[in-house]
Structure formats: C-alpha cells, structure tokens
Chain A
Amino acid sequence: MKDFLHKLDLTGRWIENVLLFSLLGGMIVLAGGQILLRNVFDSGMAWADPVLRILVLWVGLLGAVAASRQNNHITIDILNRMLPVAWRRWSDVVVALFTSAVCALLAWHTFRFVQDEYQYSDFEIAGIPVWLWQSIMPVSFALIAWRYLVRSAQLVAGTATVSATGETGLAATADVKEEDRA
C-alpha cells in the first residue's frame, strides 16, 4: 500500500510537470506566434486568443495543484507560529482536513457546472466543446482535495513536515530553489 502510494505520488508529479511544461510552452509559442503573424504577415489565428485565455486558467489551476503538493499556498498563519511544534501538528491536521473538504465541495459544484454546460451548450472553442475546456476546474479541485487528505494522513502518521517552520508560502518557493541548488 505504502509503495503504491509512493509510486502514485511520483507519477502524479511527473504528469504535473509534463502538463505544466507543455501548457506553458504552448502558451509561449502561441502568444509569440500570434505577435509574429500580426506584425510580420499582418494576419493572425482567430482561435488563438480564446485558447490562450483558457490556457491561463489551466496553467493557474495546475500550478495550484503543484503548490498543494508542497503545501505551498498563500496563507496568513500567525497563530500556529506561536504553538509548540507538537501541538501545531494537530492544528495542521484540522487545517488540512478543512482545506480538503472545501476543495471537495468546489470539485463537486464545478463538476455540476460543467455537466450543465455539457447538456445545454454546444459552444466550441478551437473546435473543442467548451465543457471539455472547463473540466479542468473539477479535476484540479478534486486533486487538491486529495492532496490535502493525504497530507492530513501523513501528519497523523508523522511523515509530513509541520507548517510554519520558518517560511511562509511564497518564501517556501524560494526555499525549494535553495535546496535544488545545494
């Protein structure tokens, strides 16, 4: 079971990286190409602008999923800094379960929204039905809910790092970079 979860974790991270790389890469190529077309050939691709806007949503939500993996979201966290580490673990469990529940709700309701679009709208962007573009919302929120559920279990088992050990959300990004360099 433990092995399976670990493999799942690695595969998930790999998929995230591949997706982020191709979506952001695609965004750069598409946006750059659009400018080239407009200025050099005085033309453009009509579908490119709506697709670029949707790519922002995709990249943003997948980035949020990636941030959830490292518990790297923007937080205020003043009070838990004052708790002893042993207690903080339990406040972290409550926080993780709360976050997981909120994201599960978001996943469910955005899923219902997408379902409605699937049934009642035949609007297409770049030849792809709009509900498919929108489906990233329930998928991402479900993934974030899962990440925080796993985190709460890991906190109980003592295998996850307790929060606020010196850095805030954004700074943690910088920390990771430092570790990478070391």
Chain B
Amino acid sequence: MTTVLILAGLFLLALYGAPLFAIIAASAMWSFYGEGIDLSVMGIEIYRVAEMPILLAIPLFTFAGYLLSESGAPGRLVRMTRAVLGWMPAGLAIVSLAACAFFTAFTGASGVTIIALGALLFPALQQAGYPDNFNLGLITTSGSLGLLFAPSLPLILYGIVAQQMSEGSSVSIDDLFLAGIFPGLLMLVLLSGYAFWVNRRNNMPLESFEWPKLKAALSESKWEIPLPFIVLGGIYSGYFAVSEAAAVTAVYVIVVEIFIMREIPFRKLPEIMRQSMMLVGGVLIILGVSLASTNYMIDAGVPQQMFNAIRGMVESPLGFLLLLNVFLLVLGAVLDIFSAIVLVVPLILPIAAQYGIHPVHLGIIFLANMQLGYSTPPVGLNLFIASFRFNRPITELYVATLPYLGILLVSVLMITYWPDLSLVLVE
C-alpha cells in the first residue's frame, strides 16, 4: 500500500517537472530499502559508470559535435550539399534533409541541428519560394533525422545498455552502426519523395549544377570532408574502437576549428565544454541511477512478469511488434530518447528476445520510434526548439509537422516489419 502511494507520488512529481534522475534514484532507494538492502549499494551502482570503457565515446563525440556546431562547419556543409544536390527538383528541400541528417549523426540529436542548421536553411527555403508550413515542418522534423546514422549518440547508448544484459551481450556498436544505414536512408528517400511531390506544381527555378561552385564548396570544406571517413573507415577497418574514434574526432575537430580555421577563439572553449558536458551529465546521471533501478527490477523478475502478461494477450511476434510500436510512440511523446533507452531497453530487450526479435533490429525499431517522438505533440523536443527558434506558436508547428510525421510513421512500420532492412549488412 505504502509502495503504491509512494510510486504514485513519484509519478506525479515527475509529471510536475522533477528531474528524472531524482525520480529514478528515489524509486530505486525505496525498493532497496523495502528489501532490507543497505542503501550504500547506490554508490556501487553509480560507480559502474566508471567501469564501462565504451562510455568514453559519449563525452568526446558530444563535445566534438558542439564544437562543430559553433564553428563555420554548418554553413560549409549546407553550401557543399547544395552544390552536389541543389540541381534536382525540390533540390533545396532535399539538401536540407541530407545536411540535417549528416549533422545530427555527428551531434547526437540533442536539438543542436535545428539551432545550427535551421537558421541557415529556413530563410534559404523561404527565399526559394517553398510554402511556409512545408519549411517549418521540414526543419522541425529534420532536427532528429539522421539519428540512425553512425556515430549518433542514441545508437551508442543503446549498444551500451544492451551489452549490460545477457540477451544483448552480443550486440556490438559496429553492428548497430551498420544496421542503421538502410533504415536511415529509407527515411531520407521517403521524405525527399514527399518534398518532390508537394512542390511538383510550384514552378520554382531549378538551380544549375556548376563545376566551379562544387569545386569552391569542396575546397572550403576540405578539412571537414575527411572526418566521416576517418571515423567510419577507422571503425570498420578495425583500426579504432568506437571510443577511440571519438577521441580522434575530438582531437581532429579541435585542431581544425581552433588552430587551422581559427573560427572559434580558444577562450570560448571552456563555455562550449560546459554546455556540452551539461548534456552529457544529464544523460550519464540518469544512466548511473538507472543501473541501480534496473538491477533491482531484473532481480525482482519484472521483465518475466511483463512477458507473461503480454504473452496472454499476443502470441505472435508480429502482434508483439505492433504492440511495441504503439507503446514506443506513446513513450516517445512523453520521454526523451536518452532516458527512454536507459529506462525501457532493459525491460523490453528480454521480452523481445523471447519473441525471437534480434536485439540489433530491436535497437533500430526503438530509435526509429523515438525519432518520431521528437516531433510528436505535446512535448516533442524539436517542436519546442523550433517554436523558440523561429518564434512561432507551438500549435502552428503541430500542424506543420503532421504530414512529415505521417511519412516517418510509414517508414517506422516498414523498419519494424522488414527485419532484413536493418539486418542485411549485419549478417
């Protein structure tokens, strides 16, 4: 009885804006207390954050992403994508999608994309004559496009959490990086197709493809172009582990943006570090306290009880996947992607395994659903950032993003029910 009251109280506090880590820590401590376990166990559990070598990738990639977004790299990225893809019908819209996806993969889908790229792309789209609502929706949803591409933070975090579980111990982050490629491309292709279709009757002047423009764009980006090749090439050739690739990225970005391009004065470095580490701290502290609560829930057999309950409702893996989609869409609408991974993956991974779903495929399903959550009313993060950034009422954004949500939903369903799309490169 007391437990029910306390859990209800914590739930209410969470809905009134208490930090999630405090809610999770409180419920973990209450559970341990009820079992008569000494609460100094919280120290043991949180200290496990210092026992996972791969976690090193998180601060390093996040910092590199923040540094990139503060430099002139977003502008160069847009100019280069424009020189390569701008000649196509609806070219600028497709440029926006591709540039945002690429940028988000490197900055970890923390909302930085809308701030860094939206400011460049939105006015350009307006100027080119695309309809206003189309542009708003495009920029808002693009803020999380690309989180299926390596080396995005959510992919890495999913891998870390899965590796803690016996069912997911074989999940390697390299595999997740490979698995995300086709599903991510599917989203890009469908959204590009939509952009083309919406604007098929707008007689916008096509941009011409010009070699000199491309050459100029390539030459100004000559320092950033090698970056993805170093990171991904290094990982897949077996030269670097993921955390080493993160270290190389951080060093490379510092050298390029601060010492070669000199776009960011050295004295701004502490503030950029502080900003990026606030995000890292927010994620890691949730991870730390979740290690405690997850351990308790697994010991108490919560996943098995949930599996038994679900088993009563659905027999087939297909039915389970449908249920999973509905659940994750609702989850994504209220919870941010990092907390969702840390809190929910340990519970559903064992259940999904019993339905025969590959843990790598589950990861891609999970993240694809969560990506939708970024733009789902009422509290999708992208909606708030875009509303703030472009000074529009949030309700206007709800309407503008609706068609994009529809398309992303179609791609999420395809990703869910077509496992080979994710797994073909892995096996």
Contacts and interface: CB of A to CB of B under 8 A. Distances in A.
A60 B18 contact: no
B286 interface: yes
Interface stretch (B42-50, B73-81, B165-173, B418-426): B42-50
B59 A75 contact: no
Contact of B40 (A70, A92, A113): A113
B17 A76 contact: yes
B17 A95 contact: yes
A18 B274 CA distance: 10
Interface residues of A, number: 74
A21 B282 CA distance: 17
Interface string A51-63: 0111011011111
Give the dominant DSSP class at A's interface: helix
A77 B381 CA distance: 12
A144 B23 CA distance: 14
Interface residues of B, number: 79
Contact of B284 (A21, A35, A60, A77): A60
A105 B29 contact: yes
Contact of B50 (A56, A75, A76, A180): A56
A178 interface: yes
Interface in A83-118: 91-92, 94-95, 98-99, 102-103, 105-106, 109-110, 112-114, 116
Give the dominant DSSP class at B's interface: helix
B387 A166 contact: yes
B42 A63 contact: no
A16 B246 CA distance: 24
Contact of B334 (A76, A173, A175, A176): A76
Interface in B38-60: 39-44, 46-47, 49-53, 55-56, 58-60
Given A63-B277, A74-B336, A106 B25 contact: yes
A24 interface: yes
Contacts of B26: 98, 102
B14 interface: yes
B285 interface: yes
A85 to B, nearest CB: 13
24 contacts: A20-B273, A21-B270, A24-B63, A24-B273, A25-B273, A27-B59, A31-B60, A35-B248, A53-B55, A57-B47, A60-B280, A63-B280, A75-B17, A78-B334, A91-B16, A92-B17, A95-B13, A106-B29, A112-B40, A134-B47, A166-B388, A168-B379, A169-B19, A176-B275
Interface of B: 12-22, 25-26, 29, 39-44, 46-47, 49-53, 55-56, 58-60, 63, 110-112, 114-115, 239-240, 243-244, 246-248, 250-251, 254, 269-271, 273-275, 277-286, 288-289, 334-336, 338-339, 378-379, 381, 384-385, 387-389
